[in-house]
Amino acid sequence: MRVFVSRRLPDAAIEPLRTHAEVAVHEDERNPVPRALLLREAARADGLLVLLTDRVDRELLDAAPTLRAVSVMAVGYDNVDVAACTARGIAVCNTPDVLTETTADLCWAILMACARRLYEGQRAIVEGRWAAWAPYFLAGQDVWGATLGIVGLGRIGTAVARRARGFGMRILYAARSGHAMAEAETGARRTELDALLAESDFVVLLAPLTPESRHLIGAAELARMKPTAVLVNAARGPLVDEEALVEALAARRIWGAALDVFEREPLPADHPLLALPNVVAVPHIGSASVATRTAMARLAAENLAAVLGGGRPRACVNPEVLGGTLGRAAPA
Ligand code: DGY
């Protein structure tokens, strides 16, 4: 059997694959595999270990007659056409759980950086604009005691809510279904999206990207938010209509935005969002701790090895192709 790994990953992490297959690796850590090379490798692969930068679509699947499994080193898998994989009997695996707490930490880091104007503060010092202590110099928004609205109370949303308790926050959430256990653990209360937008001081997006959730937050939704509110997106960029967000931020219809993800990644350096002082932007690093990225690589390899070896992967998003013995992996 043959497996293609689309980015250089630690040898120890991908070791489980070597017991089942000959492993070819795209030996570049920084840059995505060129599409033509991915298609060529897919054509003779039984398994692919890919990243969120690699599109697994019908074109690729049509070129991959022997493919049995696609393992994504991410919890989100919107880059994979799961329905097309399922129709061909190809298992799709992802890496939930191992990144939950690290991603929740990053949500909080950018939320607080925006609320308390940390980057603006550092720039002010570096540019020699810190003249003297002044009553309203870089005055931001309080986090403690504020209302936090989480859109999508999955694993990461729950971990964000857990942290919010330490800040004495009121926690609201909007989701397609109720989460009784998370409510009991965190005190979060379910509400409609419109009410959440109107009442929250911080709106945190943690919903998966699907055709229905694309541009979930557009001009109308931003208009419902408080003028003092901060929008945080640590899920997927296309959840937000970025053009509408730029307008709302520039007109100060909302107070700020803290963004880990963007409609187009990498975000071009001349993007209008980056010219706004009330934006905190980081380059899709929610799960980027050394330990967590290593755990994700390891889990992605183990999932793929399990499918190719005829076993049960820890996380599979279309378990029906494996004979229905596994539960469907829940969204992040
Ligand atoms: C994911 O896993 O989906 C993140 O976006 C990267 O960790």
- Domain-wise residue ranges, the chain: 2-98+290-323, 100-281
* Interval between CA 211 and ligand 1 midpoint (Å): 18
pLDDT over 80 at 329, yes or no? no
Respond yes or no on whether the N-terminal peptide bond of residue 266 is cis (omega within 30° of 0): yes
**What pLDDT does 125 receive?**
98
With CA atoms as reference, report the closest residue to 120 among 284, 283, 280, 285: 280
Q: Tens digit of pLDDT for each residue in 9-32?
A: 999 999 999 998 999 999 999 999
What is the spatial distance between Cα 105 and Cα 88, in angstroms, rounded to a whole number? 38
Same fold, 2-98+290-323 and 100-281: yes
Given a contact cutoff of 8 angstroms between Cβ atoms, the answer to whether 30 and 48 are in contact is no
Q: Tens digit of pLDDT for each residue in 154-177?
A: 999 999 999 999 999 999 999 999
**What pLDDT does 324 receive?**
53
CA-nearest residue for atom 1, ligand 1, is 74
pLDDT over 50 at 325, yes or no? no
What is the spatial distance between Cα 330 and Cα 312, in angstroms, rounded to a whole number? 16
Closest atom of ligand 1 relative to the 77 alpha carbon: 3
Catalytically active residues, by annotation: 236, 265, 284
* Interval between CA 248 and ligand 1 midpoint (Å): 27
End-to-end CA distance of the chain: 31
CA distances from 21 to 8, 70, 88, 93, 208 (A): 17, 14, 21, 17, 32
pLDDT over 70 at 328, yes or no? no
CA-nearest residue for atom 6, ligand 1, is 74
Query: Mean pLDDT over residues 89-115, rounded?
Result: 98
Query: For the whole model, what pTM was predicted?
Result: 0.95
**What pLDDT does 323 receive?**
85
Q: Tens digit of pLDDT for each residue in 112-126?
A: 999 999 999 999 999
Q: Tens digit of pLDDT for each residue in 261-305?
A: 999 999 999 999 999 999 999 999 999 999 999 999 999 999 999
Strand partners, 106: none
Phi/psi at 85 (nearest 5 deg)?
-65, -45
* 28-33 long-range contacts, CB within 8 A, separation 24+: 32/6, 32/7, 33/6, 33/7
**What pLDDT does 326 receive?**
47
State which CATH number among 3.30.1280.10, 3.40.50.720, 3.30.70.141, 2.60.40.10 fits the domain covering 2-98+290-323: 3.40.50.720
| CATH (residue range 100-281) | 3.40.50.720
Please give the distance of CA 192 from its chain centroid, rounded to a whole number.
22
Q: Which residues line ligand 1 (CB under 6 A)?
A: 52, 74-76, 99, 286-287
Structure token digits, residue 265: 């990644």
According to DSSP, residue 89 is labeled T
Q: Tens digit of pLDDT for each residue in 64-94?
A: 999 999 999 999 999 999 999 999 999 999 9
